């Protein structure tokens, strides 16, 4: 399936999608590509709000803000790998028997699958600004991310229950 089809399917059944991803070819380029695509989309999601902020405070131009955000997201790459390892360790403590590749797929796919809602959150931040709408959008993004990640970890660690 196309990545966009898999993202839509994740909202209906994240375990089925992760099972399909884990059944595919196992090489490190796939989870890394999912992570990088998610981070690029997160950067795009922040662009409208950064543009507004640059207009309000011209002391720091938009290009400078975008570059700083891109560098910050790039610096987080090892953190995401560590978070995937912690998720895998937590699942193993609960009796899981998956591998590190499955833990990375679970986290990185959850990040990519939640990207459309992060884009929506970025628009809410840019056009509405801080307030109840942005808070509600953030809560929805976080809850769905946790659902996708936990379901993906469950599939990678306890795969027989697809």
Count structural domains, the chain.
1
Say what the pLDDT of residue 162 is.
Answer: 41
| Structural domain includes residue 111 | yes
Q: Which domain holds residue 24?
A: 3-157
Cβ pair 65, 54 in contact under 8 A: yes
Mean pLDDT for the stretch of residues 132-159: 93
Cβ pair 109, 21 in contact under 8 A: yes
Q: Looking at the predicted structure, is the pLDDT value of residue 1 above 80?
A: no
| Structural domain includes residue 162 | no
Say what the pLDDT of residue 161 is.
Answer: 44
Percent of the chain at pLDDT > 70 equals 98
What integer best gives the mean pLDDT of the chain?
A: 90
| Structural domain includes residue 87 | yes
| Structural domain includes residue 64 | yes
16 C-beta neighbours (distance < 10 Å), count: 15
Q: For residue 161, what are the contacts with CB-CB under 8 A and spacing of at least 6?
A: 15, 154, 155
pTM: 0.89
| Structural domain includes residue 122 | yes
Say what the pLDDT of residue 160 is.
Answer: 58
Mean pLDDT for the stretch of residues 78-97: 90
Cβ pair 126, 48 in contact under 8 A: yes
Say what the pLDDT of residue 92 is.
Answer: 87
Cβ pair 98, 155 in contact under 8 A: no
Measured CA angle at 13 (ends 9, 16), to 5 deg? 90
């Amino acid at each position: 399936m196309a990545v966009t089809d898999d993202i839509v399917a994740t909202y209906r059944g994240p375990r089925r999608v992760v099972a399909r991803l884990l059944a595919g070819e196992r090489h490190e380029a796939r989870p890394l590509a999912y992570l990088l695509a998610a981070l690029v989309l997160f950067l795009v999601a922040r662009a409208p709000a950064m543009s507004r902020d640059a207009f309000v405070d011209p002391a720091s131009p938009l290009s400078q803000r975008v570059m700083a955000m891109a560098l910050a997201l790039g610096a987080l790459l090892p953190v995401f790998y560590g978070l995937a390892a912690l998720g895998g360790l937590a699942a193993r403590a609960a009796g899981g028997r998956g591998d590190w590749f499955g833990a990375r797929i679970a986290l990185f796919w959850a990040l990519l699958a939640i990207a459309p809602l992060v884009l929506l959150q970025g628009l809410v931040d840019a056009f509405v600004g801080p307030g109840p709408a942005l808070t509600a959008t953030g809560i929805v993004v976080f809850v769905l991310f946790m659902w996708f990640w936990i379901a993906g970890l469950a599939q990678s660690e306890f795969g027989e229950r697809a």
